[in-house]
Structure 1
Amino acid sequence: MTEKKFDFSIIMEDDNDAVPDDIWGGVPVREDRKGPKTIAILIFIGGLMILFQAYSDFQSHSLEDIPASEVDRLLEAPNSQTDTPITNEEYQQFHDDARESGGYLIRSIGLFISGTLITIGSINLFRLLKSGPKIATTGAGIGFIAGLYGSHLIRIASDENLSGALLLTYEIFTYLCGTCMFLCGAFSALPLINARARAALRDGSSKKVELQSNESEE
């Protein structure tokens, strides 16, 4: 009788070990390590682009007077498409109003924080850490709010001073900024939503726990 009980306990242990830890809706989920790493590479590139835009906005905020040659280059294409060209003085006034409203500075600071968090989050996601998508999604949310608000302030300045194609450009840029940050946030959150990707993620302390348990067994 004791021998039968011993055999039965071994069978039960083997059956329990065969059941995957991550089960969704009663169906075993297989880990997907490739998907999260691909997303990590994409949002890493996005984070670098956001940091570049933040640096560009900071330069615009720091620049008091735009050189006449630079203004001529910026206005060349828009003025060729309208009967009422924008003068250098009007564009300079737009630049001054945008700086005074804080639009460039708000967008620069917000996008810098956003780009930094997204870059850090992408690195952690590539290492398959659960903190990665959470950090990146938080960064995308900050960039979405700051980017939209800063772009809105700049667009108000453009409404008061510009016209034609250039006015439309700043209006489109507002929606483009919001759309890009939304997509970046959606990609960042995808590993937390997808069951197979989520099964591949682990806590940062898991390796330490395994090492400690192995050392204690030895």
Structure 2
Amino acid sequence: MSDSKTKISTHEGKENPSNSSEDVDLGFSMRMSENQPEHIPDMFPIRPDTKGPKSVGILLIFGAIFLFFQAYGDVSLHQAEDLSTAEVEMLLVTPNSQGDGSENVSIEQYQEFHDAARESGGYALRGYGLGVASIMLFVGGILLFLLKGSGAKLALSGAFTGMASGIGGSLLVKGAADTHLVGVLLLTYEITAYFCGVCMFMCAGVAALPLINARARLALYPEQKVVFKTDAEE
């Protein structure tokens, strides 16, 4: 576009009325460019958060190791046809000492419970299910530490797998306990079912954090950008 000179008219008042209508040229011009930006850049851009997903990955790795030992214990119980007398006595010392003696569990009763729990498939379901879940959480945690978006999805799937198998297996074991056990041990196996569900639910929540948080998600998926638009821009 052509340059346009800005002129300002000055009025000196009553002393010089003859110059009141004259324009004064200040000697500078203003150029208006046609390539003015229509959209002002965002002053507060969302930056990727790499520390969050890595921290979540480390937590998932430790959680997977804990689940693996729990799964190993359940698989060992499923494969053990008979428990030794020393093992059963060690398990029954604390529960039997907390009652008045009228509801003590004998070694034969606990062995019957163990056989019923094995036949119901509770140990197998919980053990193998938590084993698979621990592997998925472990691999997902490593991928998250490497800022791979698939790690969060894999860990989340593992958490739901562990939740389903853990609660289902615990309920089967609790059913066997209701039939063959009495006293404090009944409450113990009931609490175990709830505890397993709560732990896996928390694990699923932790695994989902990188997918929910905008900055963490941007670190996992750099090609996805979050843009805020006003009503006038839509």
Scaled to the shorter chain, the TM-score interval is 0.7 to 0.9
TM-score by length of 1: 0.81
Q: Which of residues 44, 50, 62 is equivalent to 1:45?
A: 62
Q: Which of residues 133, 143, 147 is equivalent to 1:128?
A: 147
Q: Counterparts of 1:160-199 in structure 2 under 5 Å?
A: 160-199=179-218
The separation in 1 between residues aligned to 2:209 and 2:221, in whole angstroms, is 15
Q: Counterparts of 1:1-218 in structure 2 under 5 Å?
A: 28-82=45-99, 83=101, 84-202=103-221
Write 1 or 2 for the structure with the bigger share of helix.
Answer: 1
> Which of these two proteins has the greater Rg computed from alpha carbons?
2
The separation in 2 between residues aligned to 1:56 and 1:196, in whole angstroms, is 39
Amino acid at match of 1:188: A
Please list the CA deviations of residues 147-195 of structure 1 after superposition, one character each: whole Å capped at 9, or x if unmatched.
Answer: 1000000000001111111111110000000000000000000000011
**1:210 paired residue number:** none
Please list the CA deviations of residues 28-54 of structure 1 after superposition, one character each: whole Å capped at 9, or x if unmatched.
Answer: 312111111111111110011111111
Write 1 or 2 for the structure with the bigger share of strand.
Answer: 2
Which segments of 5 or more consecutive residues in structure 1 lack a partner in the other structure?
A: 2-6, 21-26, 207-218
Post-superposition offset of 1:196: 1.2
Which segments of 5 or more consecutive residues in structure 2 lack a partner in the other structure?
A: 2-32, 224-234
The separation in 2 between residues aligned to 1:8 and 1:114, in whole angstroms, is 61
Amino acid at match of 1:70: E
The separation in 2 between residues aligned to 1:98 and 1:124, in whole angstroms, is 37
Aligned alpha-carbon RMSD (Å): 2.0
Query: What fraction of aligned residue pairs are identical, expressed as a percent?
Result: 47
The separation in 2 between residues aligned to 1:172 and 1:95, in whole angstroms, is 18
**1:23 paired residue number:** none
**Higher relative contact order (Cα pairs below 8 Å, separated by 6+ residues):** 1
What stretches of structure 1 move > 2 A for 4+ residues in a row? Answer: none
Amino acid at match of 2:140: G
TM-score by length of 2: 0.76
